[in-house]
């Protein structure tokens, strides 16, 4: 008696199985394709075939961002020290 388990059958050929599956598969387009969407770009197009990358624009001055944050922190600290010095009960 011949086994149905491909692991035990020495005459099993995986290529034959693939061909049989492909022969039985329906030969139609994807169900989402219809007259209204037929002009949509297909999924098989490589990403590089359309468009391009956006130009890289560096910030005007990266050093200003850090300097602005430091200045703002110093202003807040100075303001808190002034309030604390004026009111001995404030924390």
Task: Give me the tens of pLDDT residue by residue for the chain, a chain 91 residues long.
Answer: 445 565 667 777 888 888 888 888 776 666 666 677 767 655 666 666 777 788 888 777 666 788 889 999 999 999 999 998 888 776 6
CB 84 within 8 A of CB 90: yes
Instruction: Note the pLDDT of residue 59.
Output: 72
Instruction: Look at residue 46 and give its three-state secondary structure.
Output: coil
Instruction: Note the pLDDT of residue 70.
Output: 92
CA 47 to chain centre: 14
Rg (CA), the chain: 35
Instruction: Note the pLDDT of residue 47.
Output: 67
Instruction: Look at residue 63 and give its three-state secondary structure.
Output: helix
Domain map of the chain by residue range?
Answer: 62-86
Instruction: Note the pLDDT of residue 41.
Output: 59
Instruction: Note the pLDDT of residue 1.
Output: 43
CA 31 to chain centre: 26
């Amino acid at each position: 008696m011949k086994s149905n388990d491909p692991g035990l059958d020495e005459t099993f050929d995986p290529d034959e199985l693939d061909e049989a599956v492909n022969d039985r598969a329906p030969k139609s387009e994807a169900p989402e394709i219809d007259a209204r969407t037929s002009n949509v770009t297909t999924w098989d197009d490589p990403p590089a075939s359309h468009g391009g990358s956006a130009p890289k624009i560096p910030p005007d001055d990266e050093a200003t961002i850090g300097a602005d944050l430091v200045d703002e922190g110093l202003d807040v600290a100075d303001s808190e020290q002034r309030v604390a010095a004026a009111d001995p009960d404030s924390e």
